């Protein structure tokens, strides 16, 4: 399965600032997925990122708040913009491979 | 829309015993895939086992097996010979195929605690 390097692993940020999370995959993949996991809850898909096209956002998530870049087939970034304490969550990237899905190690974000 | 239901917020098991974590799903698709993931307190998502809707045999991976009952739309995870390291959150998920591609939908999770 694919190996994903996700950075940073954790961060504490001031409200009103932005944080960019990076995911690097060890091989080329068509789609990358970004998830949010709020404290004590399940994973919710934020958006799907295809290389060369705009990301597809799920209901409740907008590009202005969570801009995504996908410059090539092995890399993607998610930015959490104008953060508030409600954005405190674990953010995970994921890729699909054959029948499975591999996840990055997650970014644990705390907004103070 | 697809839906995954995990009715057990928390489960407790004694070390070395077997435990079953429940998962039911709802879909109108004929072809789908079901997954189980383990999430330790570190937050990473660890793939455990996969079952395709057309697979006739129940999936097994070491101490993990999936009790797939298609007519009842259930895909329960069975962990045999529980170990202390099995204490974690467990998520059931379904692959949903859409025009924009496939994606995973997750259940709410079950927190498993293995007691010594």
Q: Do B101 and A48 touch (CB under 8 A)?
A: yes
Sign of CA dihedral B67, B111, A102, A43: positive
**DSSP string for residues in B31-79:** S-EEEEEEE-TT---EEEEEEETT--SPPEETTEEEEEETTTTEEEEEE
Nearest to A33 among B44, B47, B103 (CB): B103
Residuewise pLDDT in 10s, chain A (112 residues): 679 999 999 999 999 999 999 999 999 998 899 999 999 999 999 999 988 788 999 999 999 999 999 999 999 999 999 999 999 999 999 998 776 899 999 999 999 9
pLDDT of residue B100: 66
State yes or no: pLDDT of B101 exceeds 80: no
Nearest to A100 among B47, B103, B106 (CB): B47
Q: Do A42 and B33 touch (CB under 8 A)?
A: no
* Tens-digit pLDDT profile for residues B41-86: 999 999 999 999 999 899 999 999 999 999 999 999 999 999 999 9
Residues of B within an 8 Å Cβ radius of A = 33, 35, 37, 42-45, 47, 50, 52, 91, 93, 95, 100-109
């Amino acid at each position: 399965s694919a190996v994903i390097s996700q950075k940073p692993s954790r961060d504490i940020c001031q409200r009103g600032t932005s944080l960019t999370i990076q995911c690097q995959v060890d091989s080329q993949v068509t789609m990358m997925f970004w998830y949010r996991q709020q404290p004590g809850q399940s994973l919710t898909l934020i958006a799907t990122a295809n290389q060369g096209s705009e990301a597809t956002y799920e209901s409740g998530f907008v590009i202005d708040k969570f801009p995504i870049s996908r410059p090539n087939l092995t890399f993607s970034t998610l930015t959490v913009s104008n953060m508030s304490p409600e954005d405190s969550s674990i953010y995970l990237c994921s890729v699909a491979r054959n029948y499975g899905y591999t996840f990055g190690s997650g970014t644990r974000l705390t907004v103070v | 829309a697809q839906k995954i239901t995990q009715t057990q917020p928390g489960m407790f098991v004694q070390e070395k015993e077997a435990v079953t974590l429940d998962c039911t799903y709802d879909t109108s698709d004929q072809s789908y895939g079901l997954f189980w993931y383990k999430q330790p307190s570190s937050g990473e998502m660890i793939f455990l086992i996969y079952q395709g809707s057309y697979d006739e045999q129940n999936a097994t991976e070491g101490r993990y097996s999936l009790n797939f009952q298609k007519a009842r739309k259930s895909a329960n995870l069975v962990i045999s010979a529980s170990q202390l390291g099995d204490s974690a959150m467990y998520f059931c998920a379904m692959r949903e195929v859409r025009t924009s591609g496939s994606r995973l939908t997750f259940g709410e999770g079950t927190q498993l605690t293995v007691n010594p």
